[in-house]
Every structure is written in C-alpha cells, then in structure tokens.
Structure 1
Amino acid sequence: MAECISYRKTNYFSSLIADYLDQKETLKDLYNHFPNVESFQKQINEKSSFQQSHRTVLKNALLKQYESFKITEISESNIVALEDQNTFTITTGHQLNLFTGPLYFLYKIVSTINLTKELKESYPTYNFVPVYWMATEDHDFEEISYFNFKGKKIHWNRESAGAVGHFSTDGLAEVFELFSQDLGIGKNAETLRELFTNAYLRHDNLTDATRYLVNELFGTYGLVIVDGDDKALKELFVPYVKEDIFQNTAFQQVSKSAEKLADLGYNVQVNPREINMFYLTENGRERIVEVEGNYEVLDTDVSFSKEELLRELENYPEKFSPNVIMRPLYQEVILPNLCYIGGGGELAYWLELKSNFDVVNIPFPMLLLRNSALLVTAKQAQKLKKLNISYPDLFLKRDSFINKKVREISNIDIDFSHQKKHLESQFKELYNLAEQTDPSFIGAVKAQEIKQLKGLENLEKRLLKAQKRKLSDHVLRITDLQNELFPNQSLQERNLNFSEMFLMYGDELIPMLLENLKPLKGEFLVLEK
C-alpha cells in the first residue's frame, strides 16, 4: 500500500456518489443502512424473513448451473450453505465482458470476497457467501465485445441480437490469434493463452465461457456465480413481474425518486418505463408495452391480451427478462442478500429504487462502492519520486497537472494570485469613490476591473505557456508518466484489462489485491508493487 485518497478528491466520482459516501442528510431516505460493520446486524435481522422455500430453489438451481463445471469444494459448500437460515450473500454483478473487460471487474469481485471475510470475523455465527451475478440477459453487445491490451482494442466482430449470454463463441478463435500475438513469451503469457483458450474456445456460449473464466480466477476463494436466466429462479419472481406489468408500481415509485434526485441537482442515471420487462425470443430481447389494453412486444409480431400474457408468464417465466430497474429487485427476491457492491454508476441507479422495494415489501440491501485502485510498479514509483510528483498530483486533469508542476519547478513565480487580490483591493476603493461622487460610474468601474483582471489572467497564461516551452523536456517526462498511469486521461482500472497486470504479477496479482483492498475503508487505494 502506498497511499489512500478520498474519492471526492480524486475528481473521478460524481457529486452524488461523493455525497452518498459522506452520508449527506438529503440522501438518507434513498437507502436503507449505510455500509459499516455495525449496521450489518440490522440488515441481517431484516433479511432473516427470507423464505426457506426460496433458499431451497436457489441451492438446487445453482447446483444444476454448475453441473458441467469443475466446482471447487469451497464454492460447492457455499452453495449448499445457502439453504441454511444463517447464511447470507454479498453480491456484485457485471456484464459478460470479453476476457473480463476493464480491470475493475477484478476489484468488484475482490471487494465482495473480502467483505464476506470481514463479516465472518465480526459475526462468526453467520455464514457469508460472495456472489457474482452474471448479466447474461443484457443485450448491449457493443459494451462487452472488446477489451484493451497494450494500447490496442481486442475486438470481437459479429452480428448481435438478443441476450448476450446465449451468444455462440464462434469467431473467438480469430480474436485469440490477435491477442496471442501481442502476449509475448513467458510463463504468465502462457497462462493467459491457456485461460482464454479453455474459456472461449472450449465452451459453446458466452455464459458458459464467462462462468469458466471467473471460476478459474476466483473459485478457490468460494465465489458463487449466479445466472439469473433460469426458469426455476424466475418462477419466484412472477408476482413482482405482474406488479410491474399490470400495476406499473416500479414506474410510479422510481419516477418519484428520480425527480427528487433531479431537484437536488444530481444527474438521473436511469428513467423507469411504465413496464420494465423485456420478452425473450430465440434471437431477441424486446420491450413489452401496453397498447389499448393489449400487450405487444416491440419490433415483433408478438402480442397478448391481458389473460394471454398472464398465462404466458405462469407457463414460461423464463421468457420474461427484467430491465435495469427491475433486475435489482429480481436479485433481492431470489438471494438472501445483505449488500450490493457496485461502481459509481450502478449505485447511482440503485439510489432510485428503494421506494419500490418498500412498496413490494422486499428489504433494500446496503449499497457499497466497490474498491478502486491504481497499481504502480516499482519503476514507476521511482520515476514519481525523482520528478517530485505526489499521488494526489496525478489525479489532476492534464492542464492543471502541468501548470502545477511548472509553477513548482520554475525559477520564476508564475502565480498572479497576489496581484489579482491587490487589484481587487484597489478597485474596492474606486467603488467607494464612485458611490460617494456619482453612482452611475459604478458600471464603468466594474467594466474596468473585469478588463484588468482579464489582462492579468491572459498575461499569466502567456508566461506559463512560455515557461512550458522552456521546460518542455520536463513537461514531456511528467505527462508521459501520467499517461502510463492514467491511459486516455482516465482511471487505469477503466481502461486496462487484467491481462496486462497478470503479465507483470502473474499468480501474485489476485492474492495481492485480496490482501490490500479493504471494502469498508471508503478510500481510493494507490498500491505500489
């Protein structure tokens, strides 16, 4: 560990998330319990109402989902334990990104595993199971069809329609060839080749490929992987699907919360629809809409009367797929879950949902921001020290970063703050003089003040620009280093794929993250290794 930085000070997290982490009073009715160790007992008490019959269905469904996979003893034990009233889950979820997608995918799951360990120490009479919810029914293929590796985009080109979990893995052999060429040689490179091959070239669909990959990475830590695209599990959700389709409850409740967030000045992450369910066909996942008392599936010829739709729902619940508004409720209906761990965007839409949970009488889970980290190699750490760059400096936007460092190393003081204050002080006297003589001159004084302040700012910018040219070699070195650690001027974890880090750290990567990421600490971690 090198340093911890508050999420607000990184400037990479929204004001809504920063205010949530600060437990701002105006947001408190949008969530249940704030995630700290002590509050989990309250959450456990509330979730103890979880039905035993649901536990049995969940256990049996998961054992069936793992039938074709080599399940670790600890993961199997965790699945069986789900039937026990003293067992609860901690859940994260993510899309089926090719080869895990961005690096933060690992951070999500490590946060989830580490929280279960911490809770077990604090509440030894209960069992806590880490869960990864696969977004198998998502249909946004563009978001998951690539990963970044060594500055290149490794892309899977194919036609897309319907739920991505059903997609055949045909065509991924060509993707593997491109990836393999850039991997290089060595033990870690060979491990990655084998992992990609076994996951994507030896499984028929994206769901199975992702389950294999994640199980290989985290199965030894007891992670349980859930596919919600399951008839037995969806049967448990039927009453809530009816509530959404025929009563529009989610639309009514979530609209109020979204309106409140907007009134408080926050960006609204998602907006509900009157019906928040899709209908799955062999080649599609399309919205259900009500049209003059009938229910149509958009962009298809499928249509139902109310009675027909009810029969379809009862007989084929697996054909009904929740959207972003209803998926969290589905998760909480079928899991004895205490806490959802997600990124800033995910927590932003979860904060719109509590009132709907309250109306349908399902306990709202705790919401925990996943760990974020910046991994810095020893060589990069040495360069930072030599160039006198602090970690908070690195989080500055490019121009601010360069200007700050140029001012620090320059042999002249290019900061006109003192001169601006002096000028403003002089103009105060001129305002007093104008007031006492002829108040109509106040406007002219103001215009002159703006003109002179602007002149000082322009002069300051020109001097800084000249000094940057003079120190261009130093500026190039510091910006190159910032580019290494913040590719595309964004967080490392949002750009790099885990494979780049695995090439460096190998089998030490995940244990290193497990040792250092503290889910309840609530700060951004800079990790030197």
Structure 2
Amino acid sequence: MPNHSLQYIKTGYFSKLICDYLAEKELLKPFYNRFPNLENFKHQLQEKQKNVTDDKRHLLAKRILFQYGDNPLSQATLSNIDLLKEKTTFTITTGHQLNLFTGPLYFLYKIYSTINLSEKLNSEYKTNHFVPVYWMATEDHDFEEINYFNLFGKKVSWGKNVSGAVGEITTEGLREVEKQLRKEFGESENAKKLISYFSKAYTKHKNLADATRYLANTLFQNHGLVIVDGNDPALKKCFIPYAEKELTENLSFKKVTETTKKLTDLGFSEQVHPREINLFYLKENLRERIIEQEGRFYINETALAFSKEEILKELHENPQRFSPNALLRPLYQEVILPNLCYIGGGGELAYWFQLKDYFNKVDVPFPILLLRNSVLLVPKILSGKLKKLNVSIESLFLQQHKLMTKHTREISTIEIDFSRQKEFLQKQFKDLYNIAKQTDVSFIGAVGAQEKKQLNGLDTLEKRLLKAQKRNLSNELDRLKTIQNELFPNQSLQERKLNFSEFYLEYGEDLMNILKENLDPLDLKFTVLEL
C-alpha cells in the first residue's frame, strides 16, 4: 500500500465548517483573511510587517531566550530566536496543551506541519525568514484534559489534585509514572530512549511548563523550533491596552457574539461561547474568571473584588495576573508574535472563525488559518493483511457496521442486492395503477398499499439474507474488524487516541523522519503513511 491521501470530506471525521473552508466556499470568506496558499503569504507578510515594532521584536527574542533557561539549544533554534529581531522575519505558529508526554499523536503532526511550512516559505521567499513556533498553553486550567495519555489500550495517568494554571503545576509524582512506563516499554534501545526523554523532562524539571519545553525542544530542536510561553510578565505588558478594552468595553463579547450569530445563521455550530469578560485572574494555585457586576469586578469562587479603578491599576502594575481565555488567547498571540499563519485542528480553527470581526475592530491583522496535517499510520503487516482481504484503506474510514455490510456484499457468492427485483416489482405495479385508473380509482389506494407491503417484504428478505451471509463469512469479517479496530481505536481517528511512544518503540527515529519527509502542510488532504 503506497503512501497516499484522500479528501477530508471523504473521511467522515471532519465538520462541515472545515470541509467548506477547505473547499473555499463563498459563504465562509467573510470569516477569514486569506486562504492558505503560497501566493497569499506574500500579501500576509506585507500586512503584518506594518503591525510589528522593532521594540516588540527585540523584547520577544529576549524573553524567549530567558524562558529557555539552561535548556541546550541547537544552532538552528538559536539562529531563529536571533532572527526574530529582524523586520524581515515572521513566524508560523501552532499551539497545544501541556499534555503528559505529548498526549495524542497529532501533537507531532502539528509541529511538523509548522516546521515544514516554515521551510517551504523560506524556500519560496528568499528575502524573508520564517520561524516555526510552538506556543505552549501554559495558562490552561483543565488538568483533567492533559494529565494522561493512552498506551496499549490503557490510560497512563498522573493522579494529582491541582488548581491554577497548568504550566505552574509541580512535576511531583511523575517518578511513579516513570516506573510504570519502564514496565510497559521494556528493555529495547528505543524503549531506553523514550524513558530517557520522559525522565529528563518530567523528573529533572520543577513544573509542567519547563518539562514540556524540554521535551519539545529535545524532539524538534534540530529543525529550529522556537517554543514560547505566553505566561510572561514582560510579554503581557504588550497586551495591557487590549485587556483594558476587555475590562471596560466588553469588546470581544460584542464583536464575537455578532460574528457567531452570522455563523450559526449559516447553519454552523458555535465552537466557543463568549463571556462578557474573556479574562481570568491568575495567581499561585488560582485561575478564575473575572466577573463584572454593577461596576465592581469579582474573581469567581474567591472573596477578591475590585473597583474599576482598582482593577485597571492591578492590570498596569501586575499584567501577569491577567490571563486570556480560549477566545482572547489568539489575539494575545498575534499581538506578541510577528505571525503570519496559525496551524491547528478542526476544533481550534472553528473558534478562530468567530474572531475575524473582533480582530478588525482592534486593528490586529488576522492570520492565515491552516488545518494541521492529519495522518493515519499503517504498519506494513496491516497493509499486507488488507491487500489479502482486497480492502482499500478508504473503506476503513466507514462506520464499522457499514464496513461490514459493504465487505459482505463484495465477497458474497450470493447476490444480496434486491434492487433488480424491486425495480421489476415497481414496473408490475405501474401497470396495476393504470388498470385501477381505468376501472375504479378507489382501487388506487389498495394497489399502493400492496406495493408498499411487497417492497417492505423484499427489504426484510434482503436484510435477513445479509445477516445470514455475515454469519457465514464471520471469520473474514472478524479479521477485517480487528484491523479497523487497531487503526481506528474506539472508532475514532488514530491520531486522537494513541501516543507517539507506541510507534516510536517499533520504529524509533525513523518515525520522526517519515513524518518530517511526508507531511505537506499545503496539500490540504488527509495523509495515509505506510510504516
């Protein structure tokens, strides 16, 4: 089975919004700036260039270098950080939660999409430079979303009671997870490398942000990846004017609500619900919503409260205590970075579509939105089994009951499709209708009822025959079901369920090289890779 791709719409796993966007449907054009193609990046950088000051560039480079601390930096990454100071340098950005040991497979696909697009643009626009950026979601507070990953059908979990921003969570307790992984991974060279990655990341660093930075830097530093933590006091100073508008004018709530209504009127779903104030108040072990009532600002679930003057004073004196939520984080990112393109999954891009009018209102260029690469990894042993069964990889994207029915019909030596019989029956009844019209029109209803009864009878016979054939062919169908379950765990996309370590154990660095070489971020198709 050669490596190939298929249209996202044919997978059945992507929303109408995303499929319409990829098809460049006219009705969605008001909700984004430019479509992701090479030519549009030239116009995007011209627009963005006017929006980024030299001071901001130098501050960004300085703070990123500070954030890396004593992490060993490759020459490629060091060079990219330094190049951020130049007017001709721009970023290509993806963001991701601080999932334990990268979480689901698509973490890798996000990063390689970002790296490969940066390289493609560096090749196309020689007078500019493009830097791949991973924006760590250090200010998220939903620990239950990130404290585990799936391995060999089981959950590897980090049990801990925490509150506040996840980036500040201590790594205490992860030695126990390391012990569990040593048993699961075994003693192979690839297993030892994985344990080394985990141990150095999570037992040698004090908090989850530092651990994640180390791990991502270790996996991707040779490709010049630059990692940014937005939870930085100096960077948040740049966001003060926007946070002030948020507190005093509820600007994002007004504009995003208007845009969301336009989207829902077109039949699309609301991805994120805007609040009157889309900021959290952030302190040690605390990240809670800011709620305004009758001119006072309350911190949810606490006794903290501020007058308007007090909260604005707090914002200017301690900007690090104000944390953008999912709707405001994209704006913060675009204010901080000389960014041209955001690469994300379908759910992420869906809430970006709600933001276009808001970005226009605050006069910040809206980035190009690019769906990250999606991949199905197919081990050769499974592709060999599929060939023997004469089943295409596209068929595996079907719901399991539809796949079983399709394959039964294809391999059955008995004709299961009664379409010809139904067509013949309908022709006979057509003659009966003519007779009824010529004799007594009161018979027409009786003829119709008889036709429906006999067609239903054929449907029942067809279903019974199909069921009988499924029993007769159960051995082959069970083999096919096993393959689909392995490639689509829990009837979901592999990339959303499995961790990279399962494949790294088998293929080692070859896995990373295959992804780097085969993911084309501008291809805009679902990728199938044989390993």
TM-score normalised by length of structure 2 = 0.97
Aligned twin of 1:44 = 45
Distance 1:441 1:58 in 2: 84
Distance 1:476 1:88 in 2: 52
Please tell me whether residue 454 in structure 1 is matched to residue 456 in structure 2: yes
Aligned twin of 1:33 = 34
Distance 2:36 2:419 in 1: 42
Aligned twin of 1:193 = 195
Aligned twin of 2:519 = 517
Distance 2:40 2:459 in 1: 51
Aligned twin of 1:419 = 421
Distance 2:150 2:446 in 1: 56
How far is the alpha carbon of 1:418 from its aligned partner?
A: 3.1
1:184-218 CA deviation, whole Å, 9 max, x = no partner?
A: 12100000011100000111100000000000000
1:479-511 CA deviation, whole Å, 9 max, x = no partner?
A: 111111111111111111000110111011111
**Residue of structure 1 aligned with 2:374, choices 362, 368, 372:** 372
Aligned twin of 2:402 = 400
Distance 2:169 2:284 in 1: 11
1:39-78 counterparts in 2 under 5 A? Answer: 39-49=40-50, 50-78=52-80
1:431-455 CA deviation, whole Å, 9 max, x = no partner?
A: 6666777777766665555444433
Please tell me whether residue 240 in structure 1 is matched to residue 217 in structure 2: no
1:490-529 counterparts in 2 under 5 A? Answer: 490-529=492-531
**One-letter code of the match for 2:16?**
S
Question: Residues 71 and 413 from structure 1, CA distance in 2 versus in 1: closer, same or farther, beyond 3 angstroms?
Answer: same
Q: Tell me, what secondary structure is at the counterpart of 1:405?
A: helix
Aligned twin of 1:24 = 25
Aligned twin of 1:231 = 233
Q: Tell me, what secondary structure is at the counterpart of 2:70?
A: coil
Aligned twin of 2:277 = 275
Distance 1:371 1:408 in 2: 32
Q: Tell me, what secondary structure is at the counterpart of 1:411?
A: coil
1:357-400 CA deviation, whole Å, 9 max, x = no partner?
A: 00000000000000011111121111111110101111111011
How far is the alpha carbon of 1:458 from its aligned partner?
A: 2.6
Aligned twin of 1:152 = 154
Q: Tell me, what secondary structure is at the counterpart of 1:34?
A: coil
Distance 1:343 1:133 in 2: 14
Aligned twin of 1:128 = 130
**Greater CA drift, 282-291 or 444-453:** 444-453
How far is the alpha carbon of 1:281 from its aligned partner?
A: 2.0
**One-letter code of the match for 1:279?**
Y
**One-letter code of the match for 2:491?**
Q
Q: Tell me, what secondary structure is at the counterpart of 1:304?
A: strand
Distance 1:438 1:334 in 2: 81
**Residue of structure 1 aligned with 2:121, choices 113, 119, 129:** 119
Q: Tell me, what secondary structure is at the counterpart of 2:132?
A: strand
Question: Residues 417 and 234 from structure 1, CA distance in 2 versus in 1: closer, same or farther, beyond 3 angstroms?
Answer: farther
Distance 1:450 1:311 in 2: 76
Q: Any stretches of 5+ residues in structure 1 without a counterpart?
A: none
Q: Tell me, what secondary structure is at the counterpart of 1:296?
A: strand
Aligned twin of 1:80 = 82
Question: Residues 20 and 440 from structure 1, CA distance in 2 versus in 1: closer, same or farther, beyond 3 angstroms?
Answer: farther
Question: Residues 297 and 426 from structure 1, CA distance in 2 versus in 1: closer, same or farther, beyond 3 angstroms?
Answer: farther
Distance 1:26 1:437 in 2: 54
Distance 2:381 2:61 in 1: 48
1:326-405 counterparts in 2 under 5 A? Answer: 326-405=328-407
Q: Tell me, what secondary structure is at the counterpart of 1:88?
A: strand
Distance 1:483 1:275 in 2: 44
**One-letter code of the match for 2:58?**
T
Question: Residues 470 and 53 from structure 1, CA distance in 2 versus in 1: closer, same or farther, beyond 3 angstroms?
Answer: same
Distance 1:336 1:445 in 2: 73
How far is the alpha carbon of 1:69 from its aligned partner?
A: 1.2
Distance 1:233 1:447 in 2: 74
Distance 1:432 1:334 in 2: 76
1:263-302 counterparts in 2 under 5 A? Answer: 263-302=265-304
Distance 2:445 2:267 in 1: 33
Distance 1:446 1:309 in 2: 74
Question: Residues 433 and 360 from structure 1, CA distance in 2 versus in 1: closer, same or farther, beyond 3 angstroms?
Answer: farther
Question: Residues 145 and 445 from structure 1, CA distance in 2 versus in 1: closer, same or farther, beyond 3 angstroms?
Answer: farther
**One-letter code of the match for 2:299?**
V
Question: Residues 237 and 442 from structure 1, CA distance in 2 versus in 1: closer, same or farther, beyond 3 angstroms?
Answer: farther
Distance 1:159 1:199 in 2: 21
Distance 2:407 2:369 in 1: 38
**Greater CA drift, 406-415 or 209-218:** 406-415
Q: Tell me, what secondary structure is at the counterpart of 1:65?
A: helix
Question: Residues 223 and 449 from structure 1, CA distance in 2 versus in 1: closer, same or farther, beyond 3 angstroms?
Answer: farther
Distance 2:155 2:462 in 1: 40
Aligned twin of 1:215 = 217
Distance 1:299 1:54 in 2: 35
Distance 1:266 1:433 in 2: 50
**Greater CA drift, 229-238 or 373-382:** 373-382
**One-letter code of the match for 1:36?**
N
**Residue of structure 1 aligned with 2:173, choices 171, 174, 179:** 171
1:312-327 counterparts in 2 under 5 A? Answer: 312-327=314-329
Distance 2:239 2:431 in 1: 72
Distance 2:43 2:114 in 1: 19
Q: Tell me, what secondary structure is at the counterpart of 1:74?
A: helix
Residue identity (%): 58
Question: Residues 471 and 235 from structure 1, CA distance in 2 versus in 1: closer, same or farther, beyond 3 angstroms?
Answer: same
Distance 1:499 1:34 in 2: 34
TM-score normalised by length of structure 1 = 0.97
Report the number of matched residues: 529
Question: Residues 98 and 424 from structure 1, CA distance in 2 versus in 1: closer, same or farther, beyond 3 angstroms?
Answer: farther
1:67-125 CA deviation, whole Å, 9 max, x = no partner?
A: 22111111111111111000000000000000000001000000000000111111011
How far is the alpha carbon of 1:6 from its aligned partner?
A: 0.5
Aligned twin of 1:8 = 9
Distance 1:320 1:297 in 2: 11
Please tell me whether residue 485 in structure 1 is matched to residue 470 in structure 2: no
**One-letter code of the match for 2:459?**
E
Question: Residues 436 and 275 from structure 1, CA distance in 2 versus in 1: closer, same or farther, beyond 3 angstroms?
Answer: farther
Aligned twin of 2:94 = 92
Distance 1:319 1:300 in 2: 15
Distance 2:244 2:194 in 1: 45
Question: Residues 435 and 484 from structure 1, CA distance in 2 versus in 1: closer, same or farther, beyond 3 angstroms?
Answer: same
Distance 1:439 1:130 in 2: 75
Distance 2:424 2:28 in 1: 42
Question: Residues 55 and 400 from structure 1, CA distance in 2 versus in 1: closer, same or farther, beyond 3 angstroms?
Answer: same
How far is the alpha carbon of 1:457 from its aligned partner?
A: 2.6
How far is the alpha carbon of 1:459 from its aligned partner?
A: 2.2
Q: Tell me, what secondary structure is at the counterpart of 1:371?
A: coil
